[in-house]
């Protein structure tokens, strides 16, 4: 999230609050696209949404699909999100407390191993 947000020097206090002391990140459309797809895939896992449902949900964005098919010849966001989803699903599970019931645990991919 920091790389998506910290793109100008006026956000330096925000970056420092997060423990980052480097320069702002360069605006790179392809890199930003990849990061957003990774975040989307992670949130699908965090909400316990299965792969088939992820594919269905992605299909509910017809404008994005139409624009990407015109620009890239495919629904690129859907493909990359599903690829990230599958890669994350292969990671070892990490048990975390359920948000509404801390006595229950959720198994999510251990994204600390994400590269």
State the average pLDDT over residues 55-69.
97
Does any domain span residue 21?
A: no
- Res 108 pLDDT > 90: no
What is the rounded CA–CA span in Å between residue 101 and residue 17? 30
Give the range of the structural domain holding residue 89, as residue numbers without chain letter.
Answer: 30-113
Does any domain span residue 44?
A: yes
Torsion of CA 26, 115, 73, 27, to 10 degrees: -10
pLDDT of residue 98: 78
Q: How many CB atoms lie within 10 A of CB 24?
A: 16
For residues 46 and 108, the answer to whether their CB atoms sit within 8 Å is: yes
Does any domain span residue 65?
A: yes
- Res 102 pLDDT > 80: no
CA angle at 73 for the pair 70 and 76, rounded to the nearest 5°: 100
* Count of structural domains, the chain: 1
pLDDT band at 105 (very low <50, low <70, confident <90, very high): confident
State the average pLDDT over residues 33-52.
94
């Amino acid at each position: 999230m920091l790389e998506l947000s910290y793109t100008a020097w006026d956000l330096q206090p925000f970056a420092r609050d997060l423990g980052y002391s480097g320069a702002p990140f360069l605006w790179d459309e392809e890199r930003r696209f990849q990061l957003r797809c990774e975040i989307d895939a992670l949130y699908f896992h965090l909400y316990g949404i299965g792969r088939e449902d992820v594919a269905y949900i992605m299909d509910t964005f017809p404008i994005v699909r139409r624009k990407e098919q015109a620009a890239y010849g495919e629904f690129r966001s859907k493909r990359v999100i599903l690829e990230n989803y599958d890669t994350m699903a292969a990671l070892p599970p990490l048990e975390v407390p359920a948000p509404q019931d801390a006595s229950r645990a959720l198994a999510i991919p251990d994204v600390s191993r994400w590269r």
